[in-house]
Amino acid sequence: MWRISIHPEWVVAPAGGDPHPLPELLPLLTAIQDSGSIADAARFTEMSYRRAWGMLRRFESEFGVPLVIKTRGQGTRLSVLAEKLLWADRRVAARLSPTLESLSSELEGELESLLSPERASLRINASHGFAVAALVEALGREHVPVELKYRTSTEAVAALARGECDLAGFHVAEGPFQKASVEPYIAWLDSRRHVLIHLARRTQGLFVARGNPKRISGLEDLARSDLRFVNRQIGSGTRVLIDLLLSSQRIDPARIVGYENTEFTHAAVAAYIASGMADVGFGLEAAARRFGLDFIALLREGYFFGCESAAVNKAMLRDVLTLLRGEQMRAVIDALPGYDGQLTGTVVELEEAFGAG
Protein backbone atom coordinates (compact mmCIF):
# COMPACT_ATOMS: atom_id res chain seq x y z
CA MET A 1 0.00 0.00 0.00
CA TRP A 2 1.34 3.43 -0.98
CA ARG A 3 0.74 6.59 1.04
CA ILE A 4 0.48 10.06 -0.51
CA SER A 5 0.97 13.28 1.43
CA ILE A 6 0.27 16.78 0.09
CA HIS A 7 1.34 19.91 1.95
CA PRO A 8 0.57 23.58 1.18
CA GLU A 9 3.40 25.91 0.21
CA TRP A 10 3.02 29.63 -0.32
CA VAL A 11 5.26 32.45 -1.55
CA VAL A 12 5.42 36.21 -1.07
CA ALA A 13 6.45 38.69 -3.72
CA PRO A 14 6.60 42.47 -4.01
CA ALA A 15 4.46 44.00 -6.76
CA GLY A 16 6.29 43.31 -10.00
CA GLY A 17 9.13 41.58 -8.16
CA ASP A 18 10.46 38.06 -7.84
CA PRO A 19 8.55 35.55 -5.67
CA HIS A 20 10.13 34.40 -2.42
CA PRO A 21 9.23 30.82 -1.37
CA LEU A 22 8.85 30.37 2.39
CA PRO A 23 9.30 26.61 3.02
CA GLU A 24 12.71 27.05 4.68
CA LEU A 25 12.12 30.40 6.39
CA LEU A 26 8.96 29.40 8.25
CA PRO A 27 10.46 26.36 10.05
CA LEU A 28 13.44 28.54 11.02
CA LEU A 29 11.15 31.22 12.46
CA THR A 30 9.18 28.56 14.34
CA ALA A 31 12.38 27.17 15.84
CA ILE A 32 13.51 30.67 16.88
CA GLN A 33 10.12 31.25 18.52
CA ASP A 34 10.41 27.98 20.44
CA SER A 35 14.07 28.26 21.46
CA GLY A 36 14.74 32.00 21.70
CA SER A 37 18.05 31.40 19.96
CA ILE A 38 19.13 31.59 16.32
CA ALA A 39 21.96 29.14 16.96
CA ASP A 40 19.62 26.57 18.52
CA ALA A 41 17.08 27.14 15.75
CA ALA A 42 19.74 26.55 13.09
CA ARG A 43 20.71 23.25 14.71
CA PHE A 44 17.08 22.17 15.00
CA THR A 45 16.41 22.91 11.33
CA GLU A 46 19.71 21.28 10.32
CA MET A 47 21.28 24.33 8.71
CA SER A 48 24.48 26.19 9.54
CA TYR A 49 24.36 29.29 11.71
CA ARG A 50 25.77 31.29 8.81
CA ARG A 51 23.05 30.06 6.46
CA ALA A 52 20.32 30.80 8.99
CA TRP A 53 21.59 34.37 9.50
CA GLY A 54 21.93 34.85 5.76
CA MET A 55 18.36 33.75 5.16
CA LEU A 56 17.03 36.08 7.86
CA ARG A 57 19.01 39.04 6.53
CA ARG A 58 17.91 38.38 2.95
CA PHE A 59 14.22 38.34 3.85
CA GLU A 60 14.63 41.36 6.14
CA SER A 61 16.19 43.25 3.27
CA GLU A 62 13.30 42.30 0.98
CA PHE A 63 10.61 43.19 3.53
CA GLY A 64 12.37 46.31 4.75
CA VAL A 65 11.66 45.44 8.41
CA PRO A 66 13.33 43.05 10.89
CA LEU A 67 12.17 39.48 11.40
CA VAL A 68 14.01 38.92 14.69
CA ILE A 69 14.83 41.16 17.62
CA LYS A 70 17.89 40.37 19.74
CA THR A 71 17.95 41.66 23.30
CA ARG A 72 21.08 41.41 25.47
CA GLY A 73 20.53 38.82 28.18
CA GLN A 74 17.08 37.88 26.88
CA GLY A 75 17.87 36.00 23.69
CA THR A 76 16.08 36.45 20.38
CA ARG A 77 12.38 36.92 19.75
CA LEU A 78 10.33 37.28 16.61
CA SER A 79 9.16 40.63 15.28
CA VAL A 80 5.48 41.34 14.71
CA LEU A 81 5.93 40.59 11.00
CA ALA A 82 7.56 37.22 11.66
CA GLU A 83 4.78 36.25 14.05
CA LYS A 84 2.18 37.22 11.45
CA LEU A 85 3.92 35.06 8.86
CA LEU A 86 3.76 32.07 11.19
CA TRP A 87 0.11 32.65 12.02
CA ALA A 88 -0.69 33.00 8.35
CA ASP A 89 1.00 29.66 7.69
CA ARG A 90 -0.94 28.00 10.51
CA ARG A 91 -4.19 29.39 9.13
CA VAL A 92 -3.31 28.07 5.66
CA ALA A 93 -2.63 24.61 7.08
CA ALA A 94 -5.75 24.61 9.27
CA ARG A 95 -8.00 25.66 6.42
CA LEU A 96 -6.55 23.41 3.70
CA SER A 97 -5.62 20.25 5.63
CA PRO A 98 -9.00 18.48 5.26
CA THR A 99 -9.11 19.23 1.53
CA LEU A 100 -5.55 18.03 1.00
CA GLU A 101 -6.11 14.92 3.13
CA SER A 102 -9.17 14.06 1.07
CA LEU A 103 -7.28 14.61 -2.19
CA SER A 104 -4.36 12.52 -0.94
CA SER A 105 -6.77 9.72 -0.05
CA GLU A 106 -8.43 9.86 -3.48
CA LEU A 107 -5.04 9.65 -5.20
CA GLU A 108 -4.03 6.75 -2.95
CA GLY A 109 -7.22 4.97 -3.95
CA GLU A 110 -6.51 5.48 -7.64
CA LEU A 111 -2.95 4.22 -7.21
CA GLU A 112 -4.12 1.25 -5.14
CA SER A 113 -6.71 0.29 -7.76
CA LEU A 114 -3.97 0.16 -10.38
CA LEU A 115 -1.33 -1.65 -8.32
CA SER A 116 -3.62 -3.90 -6.26
CA PRO A 117 -6.97 -4.10 -8.07
CA GLU A 118 -8.11 -7.00 -5.91
CA ARG A 119 -8.11 -4.88 -2.72
CA ALA A 120 -11.19 -2.78 -1.99
CA SER A 121 -10.79 0.54 -0.19
CA LEU A 122 -12.81 1.50 2.87
CA ARG A 123 -14.85 4.53 1.76
CA ILE A 124 -15.27 7.11 4.53
CA ASN A 125 -17.26 10.32 4.10
CA ALA A 126 -17.14 12.37 7.27
CA SER A 127 -17.38 15.68 9.00
CA HIS A 128 -13.80 16.65 9.88
CA GLY A 129 -12.73 15.81 13.41
CA PHE A 130 -9.64 14.83 15.41
CA ALA A 131 -10.90 11.33 16.25
CA VAL A 132 -11.66 10.69 12.57
CA ALA A 133 -8.11 11.72 11.67
CA ALA A 134 -6.75 9.42 14.40
CA LEU A 135 -8.77 6.50 13.03
CA VAL A 136 -7.57 7.07 9.47
CA GLU A 137 -3.96 7.18 10.71
CA ALA A 138 -4.49 3.93 12.61
CA LEU A 139 -6.01 2.26 9.56
CA GLY A 140 -2.99 3.38 7.55
CA ARG A 141 -0.67 1.71 10.06
CA GLU A 142 -2.71 -1.48 9.60
CA HIS A 143 -2.30 -1.11 5.81
CA VAL A 144 -6.05 -0.77 5.27
CA PRO A 145 -6.66 1.21 2.07
CA VAL A 146 -8.98 4.15 2.80
CA GLU A 147 -10.78 6.50 0.45
CA LEU A 148 -11.52 9.53 2.64
CA LYS A 149 -13.71 12.52 1.80
CA TYR A 150 -14.17 15.27 4.36
CA ARG A 151 -17.53 16.99 3.90
CA THR A 152 -20.39 18.32 6.02
CA SER A 153 -22.27 15.87 8.21
CA THR A 154 -25.40 16.15 6.07
CA GLU A 155 -23.44 15.50 2.87
CA ALA A 156 -21.78 12.46 4.45
CA VAL A 157 -25.07 10.87 5.57
CA ALA A 158 -26.65 11.59 2.17
CA ALA A 159 -23.71 9.82 0.50
CA LEU A 160 -24.30 6.77 2.71
CA ALA A 161 -27.97 6.68 1.68
CA ARG A 162 -26.91 6.74 -1.97
CA GLY A 163 -24.44 3.89 -1.45
CA GLU A 164 -21.42 6.11 -2.13
CA CYS A 165 -19.54 5.30 1.09
CA ASP A 166 -19.16 2.59 3.72
CA LEU A 167 -18.97 4.89 6.76
CA ALA A 168 -20.61 8.32 7.13
CA GLY A 169 -19.34 10.43 10.01
CA PHE A 170 -21.64 12.98 11.66
CA HIS A 171 -22.20 14.50 15.09
CA VAL A 172 -25.30 15.12 17.19
CA ALA A 173 -25.82 17.16 20.36
CA GLU A 174 -26.72 15.42 23.59
CA GLY A 175 -29.51 16.59 25.87
CA PRO A 176 -32.24 19.09 24.95
CA PHE A 177 -30.75 19.91 21.53
CA GLN A 178 -30.49 16.32 20.33
CA LYS A 179 -33.85 16.13 18.57
CA ALA A 180 -33.30 19.34 16.59
CA SER A 181 -29.66 18.61 15.74
CA VAL A 182 -30.39 15.12 14.40
CA GLU A 183 -33.22 16.26 12.11
CA PRO A 184 -30.95 17.01 9.09
CA TYR A 185 -29.76 13.39 9.10
CA ILE A 186 -32.95 11.46 9.83
CA ALA A 187 -34.22 12.02 6.31
CA TRP A 188 -31.27 9.96 5.03
CA LEU A 189 -31.11 7.25 7.69
CA ASP A 190 -33.36 4.17 7.69
CA SER A 191 -33.64 2.02 10.83
CA ARG A 192 -34.30 -1.05 8.66
CA ARG A 193 -31.11 -0.48 6.69
CA HIS A 194 -28.62 1.45 8.84
CA VAL A 195 -26.93 1.19 12.22
CA LEU A 196 -24.52 3.50 14.02
CA ILE A 197 -21.00 2.99 15.29
CA HIS A 198 -20.07 5.25 18.18
CA LEU A 199 -16.73 6.98 17.62
CA ALA A 200 -16.48 9.45 20.51
CA ARG A 201 -18.19 11.92 22.78
CA ARG A 202 -16.73 15.41 22.62
CA THR A 203 -17.18 18.94 23.97
CA GLN A 204 -18.10 22.04 21.97
CA GLY A 205 -17.97 25.60 23.25
CA LEU A 206 -16.58 29.09 22.80
CA PHE A 207 -12.99 29.82 21.77
CA VAL A 208 -11.47 32.92 23.37
CA ALA A 209 -7.94 34.32 23.48
CA ARG A 210 -5.63 33.06 26.20
CA GLY A 211 -6.44 34.76 29.48
CA ASN A 212 -9.88 35.74 28.13
CA PRO A 213 -8.97 39.45 27.83
CA LYS A 214 -12.48 40.37 26.62
CA ARG A 215 -14.05 38.78 29.71
CA ILE A 216 -16.41 36.60 27.71
CA SER A 217 -18.55 34.38 29.94
CA GLY A 218 -21.14 32.84 27.63
CA LEU A 219 -23.45 33.09 24.64
CA GLU A 220 -25.08 36.29 25.86
CA ASP A 221 -21.80 38.14 25.27
CA LEU A 222 -21.72 37.37 21.54
CA ALA A 223 -24.01 40.28 20.72
CA ARG A 224 -21.58 42.77 22.27
CA SER A 225 -20.47 45.39 19.75
CA ASP A 226 -16.81 45.12 20.86
CA LEU A 227 -16.53 41.42 19.93
CA ARG A 228 -15.68 39.93 16.54
CA PHE A 229 -17.03 36.44 15.86
CA VAL A 230 -15.81 33.81 13.37
CA ASN A 231 -18.29 31.11 12.36
CA ARG A 232 -18.41 27.70 10.67
CA GLN A 233 -19.86 27.33 7.19
CA ILE A 234 -23.57 26.85 6.55
CA GLY A 235 -24.39 23.14 6.34
CA SER A 236 -21.79 22.02 8.89
CA GLY A 237 -23.00 20.22 12.01
CA THR A 238 -21.27 22.80 14.19
CA ARG A 239 -23.11 25.64 12.44
CA VAL A 240 -26.37 23.82 13.17
CA LEU A 241 -25.43 23.66 16.85
CA ILE A 242 -24.46 27.32 17.26
CA ASP A 243 -27.68 28.34 15.50
CA LEU A 244 -29.69 26.17 17.91
CA LEU A 245 -27.87 27.58 20.94
CA LEU A 246 -28.50 31.16 19.87
CA SER A 247 -32.15 30.45 19.15
CA SER A 248 -32.57 28.95 22.63
CA GLN A 249 -31.20 32.19 24.12
CA ARG A 250 -33.25 34.36 21.75
CA ILE A 251 -30.07 35.95 20.38
CA ASP A 252 -30.43 37.31 16.84
CA PRO A 253 -27.38 36.26 14.75
CA ALA A 254 -27.71 39.57 12.86
CA ARG A 255 -26.57 41.31 16.05
CA ILE A 256 -23.30 39.34 16.16
CA VAL A 257 -20.38 41.11 14.50
CA GLY A 258 -18.69 38.73 12.05
CA TYR A 259 -21.35 36.00 12.13
CA GLU A 260 -21.13 35.84 8.34
CA ASN A 261 -17.34 35.21 8.44
CA THR A 262 -16.78 31.46 8.06
CA GLU A 263 -14.04 28.87 8.22
CA PHE A 264 -14.29 25.21 7.20
CA THR A 265 -12.68 23.44 10.17
CA HIS A 266 -12.50 23.75 13.94
CA ALA A 267 -8.75 24.24 13.65
CA ALA A 268 -9.20 27.07 11.14
CA VAL A 269 -11.59 28.86 13.53
CA ALA A 270 -9.06 28.46 16.33
CA ALA A 271 -6.19 29.73 14.16
CA TYR A 272 -8.29 32.73 13.10
CA ILE A 273 -8.79 33.74 16.74
CA ALA A 274 -5.25 32.91 17.82
CA SER A 275 -3.91 35.20 15.08
CA GLY A 276 -5.95 38.09 16.47
CA MET A 277 -8.41 38.36 13.58
CA ALA A 278 -11.43 37.59 15.78
CA ASP A 279 -12.21 37.52 19.50
CA VAL A 280 -14.51 34.52 19.78
CA GLY A 281 -15.69 31.46 17.87
CA PHE A 282 -17.45 28.16 18.46
CA GLY A 283 -16.05 24.67 18.09
CA LEU A 284 -14.25 21.71 19.62
CA GLU A 285 -12.20 22.01 22.80
CA ALA A 286 -9.38 20.02 21.17
CA ALA A 287 -8.92 22.73 18.50
CA ALA A 288 -8.91 25.52 21.10
CA ARG A 289 -6.23 23.81 23.19
CA ARG A 290 -4.12 23.02 20.12
CA PHE A 291 -3.85 26.74 19.37
CA GLY A 292 -3.32 27.87 22.96
CA LEU A 293 -6.79 29.37 23.40
CA ASP A 294 -9.06 29.37 26.43
CA PHE A 295 -12.30 27.43 26.16
CA ILE A 296 -15.80 27.85 27.60
CA ALA A 297 -17.70 24.54 27.43
CA LEU A 298 -21.33 24.75 26.29
CA LEU A 299 -22.48 21.26 25.32
CA ARG A 300 -21.53 17.63 24.77
CA GLU A 301 -22.18 15.73 21.57
CA GLY A 302 -21.77 12.27 20.13
CA TYR A 303 -19.84 11.55 16.95
CA PHE A 304 -21.14 8.53 15.02
CA PHE A 305 -20.42 6.59 11.88
CA GLY A 306 -23.54 5.52 10.02
CA CYS A 307 -23.20 2.30 8.03
CA GLU A 308 -25.24 -0.42 6.35
CA SER A 309 -26.52 -2.99 8.88
CA ALA A 310 -25.53 -5.82 6.55
CA ALA A 311 -21.95 -4.57 6.33
CA VAL A 312 -21.15 -4.71 10.05
CA ASN A 313 -20.32 -8.42 9.97
CA LYS A 314 -18.29 -8.23 6.78
CA ALA A 315 -14.50 -8.42 6.96
CA MET A 316 -13.68 -4.76 6.33
CA LEU A 317 -15.97 -3.29 8.99
CA ARG A 318 -15.12 -6.11 11.41
CA ASP A 319 -11.52 -4.95 11.19
CA VAL A 320 -12.58 -1.33 11.82
CA LEU A 321 -14.60 -2.35 14.88
CA THR A 322 -11.72 -4.40 16.25
CA LEU A 323 -9.44 -1.40 15.88
CA LEU A 324 -11.95 0.98 17.49
CA ARG A 325 -12.50 -1.32 20.45
CA GLY A 326 -8.80 -1.77 21.12
CA GLU A 327 -7.18 -0.13 24.14
CA GLN A 328 -4.71 1.80 21.97
CA MET A 329 -7.40 3.54 19.90
CA ARG A 330 -9.47 4.43 22.94
CA ALA A 331 -6.38 5.81 24.68
CA VAL A 332 -5.66 8.04 21.66
CA ILE A 333 -9.23 9.39 21.71
CA ASP A 334 -9.22 9.90 25.49
CA ALA A 335 -6.00 11.91 25.16
CA LEU A 336 -7.71 14.47 22.90
CA PRO A 337 -8.90 17.45 24.99
CA GLY A 338 -12.66 17.31 25.44
CA TYR A 339 -12.97 13.80 23.96
CA ASP A 340 -14.25 10.62 25.65
CA GLY A 341 -13.65 7.19 24.13
CA GLN A 342 -15.62 5.10 26.62
CA LEU A 343 -18.25 4.14 24.02
CA THR A 344 -15.88 3.95 21.04
CA GLY A 345 -16.69 0.99 18.81
CA THR A 346 -20.18 0.42 20.25
CA VAL A 347 -22.80 -0.47 17.63
CA VAL A 348 -26.25 1.01 18.31
CA GLU A 349 -29.61 1.07 16.56
CA LEU A 350 -31.06 4.40 15.43
CA GLU A 351 -33.93 4.12 17.87
CA GLU A 352 -31.53 3.49 20.74
CA ALA A 353 -29.42 6.51 19.85
CA PHE A 354 -32.07 9.06 18.85
CA GLY A 355 -35.51 7.49 19.14
CA ALA A 356 -35.73 7.77 15.32
CA GLY A 357 -37.33 5.38 12.87
pLDDT tens profile 280-292: 999 999 999 999 9
Question: 17-69, pLDDT tens digit by residue?
Answer: 777 778 889 999 999 999 999 999 999 999 999 999 999 998 998 888 999 99
Pairing of strands 280-284, 146-150: unpaired
Residues of the chain with CATH 1.10.10.10: 11-86
* Mean pLDDT of the 229-251 span: 93
- Following DSSP, what letter does each residue of 272-338 receive, concatenated? HHHTTS-SEEEEEHHHHHHTT-EEEEEEEEEEEEEEEGGGTTSHHHHHHHHHHHSHHHHHHHHTSTT
Question: 137-169, pLDDT tens digit by residue?
Answer: 999 888 888 899 999 999 999 999 999 999 999
Q: What is the pLDDT of residue 104?
A: 83
- Which residue type does 50 have? R
* Residues 142 and 323 sit within 8 Å (Cβ to Cβ): yes
Q: Is the pLDDT of residue 118 over 70?
A: no
What dihedral angle (degrees, nearest 10) is formed by the CA atoms of 271, 277, 279, 285?
-10
Question: Is the Cα torsion angle 191, 195, 201, 205 positive or negative in sign?
Answer: negative
Least confidently predicted of 104-108, 222-226, 320-324: 104-108
DSSP 167: E
Residues of the chain with CATH 3.40.190.290: 120-357
Q: What is the pLDDT of residue 357?
A: 42
Q: What is the spatial distance between Cα 123 and Cα 326, in angstroms, rounded to a whole number?
A: 21
* Residues 196 and 348 sit within 8 Å (Cβ to Cβ): yes
What dihedral angle (degrees, nearest 10) is formed by the CA atoms of 169, 174, 176, 181?
-10
Q: What is the pLDDT of residue 73?
A: 76
> Which CATH number fits the domain 11-86, given the four candidates 2.40.50.140, 1.10.10.10, 3.40.50.1950, 1.10.10.60?
1.10.10.10
Least confidently predicted of 7-21, 81-95, 196-210, 302-316: 7-21
Question: Is the Cα torsion angle 205, 151, 342, 135 positive or negative in sign?
Answer: negative
Q: What CATH architecture is 120-357?
A: 3-Layer(aba) Sandwich (3.40)
The rounded mean pLDDT for the chain is 91
Q: What is the pLDDT of residue 119?
A: 66
